[in-house]
Amino acid sequence: MVTCLGDMFYPEVGEKIVRLLRALSVVVEFPAGQTCCGLPLFNSGYHTDAAAVARRTVALFKDAEAVVVPSGSCAWMVKHEYPGLMTDPHDRAAAERLAGRTHELSQFLVKKLGRRRFRSAVAGRVTYHDSCHLLRGLHESESPRTLLRGLAGAEFVELPGGDECCGFGGSFSVRLPEVSTAILDKKLANVEATGADCVVACDAGCLMQMRGGLSRRGSRVRALHLAEVLGEPQ
């Protein structure tokens, strides 16, 4: 699942993931006609439309053995919210099947494939921002860290307040932009204080927010997706 943000704005991340999975001998398929998991509709309360999008998505992936998602929030939406959105019991069963087969990228690499060590595609110091849906929705804080600590050629440092929100929150970022920015500023101050060369996240929304702020302030720190720092498997 490439996700809407991934498809439109970060296609290179999608490409990296495909190549990475192939390097790990995974056969990668891409069902055509993907749009979005429906999370933005869901979060803003448009549940009828969100349910329609969910049904569509479930149908698109019905033959997949495993679905890898580069964003924690989209993976959460599929695993956590899809079944509840379905009123029809058949739809619900199909959604539950999909939920069981869906994995966020770091979870897939570490827990499903058992791969922990990669060459680092970046040099220097790397820190990690826990995206809210991955951390609290999917209870996942270890897999990304396992991968980042295992990077050959880069140094990992913990981010103080790493578990604090970056301020994206979907439409929140434009409904209350000043508050969203104030939260972001706090996050970026923490990032810069680590002396890291890049901050890694497993969510396109967080990346859009953090990269947008870093770029605006002319920072030399880069905000990268996990897939962008994973080089050759070791």
32 contributes a contact to another protein by CB under 8 A: yes
* Measured distance CA(206)–CA(226) in Å, rounded: 12
Q: Which residue in 124, 107, 138, 121 sits closest to 19, CA to CA?
A: 121
Restricting to residues 139-198, name those near another protein by CB under 8 A: 163-165, 167-184, 186
How many residues in the chain? 234
Cα end-to-end span (Å), the chain: 25
Give the nearer residue to another protein in terms of CB position, either 155 or 176: 176
When binding is defined by CB under 8 A, the residue of 10, 82, 108, 118 that contacts another protein is 10
Q: Which residues pair with 126 in a beta bridge?
A: 156, 198
Helices in 61-193 by DSSP H: which ranges? 72-76, 82-85, 89-101, 105-107, 132, 142-149, 172-175, 177-193
Restricting to residues 60-119, name those near another protein by CB under 8 A: none
Segment lying near another protein (by CB under 8 A), choices 24-32, 89-97, 140-148, 192-200 = 24-32
- Point out which residues bind another protein (CB under 8 A): 2, 4, 6-12, 14-15, 18, 22, 27-28, 30, 32-36, 38, 40-50, 52-53, 56, 132-133, 136-137, 163-165, 167-184, 186, 208-209, 211-213, 215-216
